[in-house]
Amino acid sequence: DESAEILRSTLLGCQAIVHPHTTWLLDDGRRPEMEALAAEYGARYLIRPDNAHAKAGNINHALPRTDGDLVLVLDADHVPMPDALDAVVGYFDDPDVALVQTPHDFSNHDSIQHYEQGRHEQSVFFHVVCPGKDRHGASYWCGSGGVLRREALLEIGGVATETIAEDFHTTIKLHRSGWRTRFHDEII
């Protein structure tokens, strides 16, 4: 239920992505104005009959109705850079890679979670913990800013719906099935 203003910024960012792609707006609010907004920015629009399993359910509903080998998942307020996909698609040359996660960053540097310019509560996580996990082949999906291989998601039955930590649980399922994950330490 993000506002049109928030989604407009995200859709503008998606429209500017250089790598060939199709942008989909998955709207659990089923709002006609969001369908019009998606069309305005060249995005496709998809709704579902219910809101079961929140974000995980929304992605799972979209998987068989969309195409493409890779899926970039963005939250409604996550504005991608124009080279977002170019920065990470090379990792998928390795057929065993199912996920590439990138760090989150925030434009509202005056928020309560920022303690100095460029630093926020998640800085240690994304710039220390995640690169360390990557060195051990243990990177995990953080919900937004991750690119997933569709084939891998479908193989494990889609995004995990058994917990509220669907991103982390999905990563565990991917690792258990033999897929590899990576962390790309650059904001996309």
Catalytic residues: 28, 167
CA distance 45 to 167: 23
Spell out the alpha helix ranges (H) of the chain: 4-15, 32-40, 54-62, 84-88, 123-124, 130-135, 150-155, 166-176
Asked whether the beta carbons of 137 and 180 are under 8 A apart, the reply is yes
Q: What angle do CA 93, 183, 81 make, to 5 degrees?
A: 85
Which DSSP category does 177 fall into? T
Tell me how far apart the 2 most distant CA atoms of the chain are, in Å.
Answer: 46
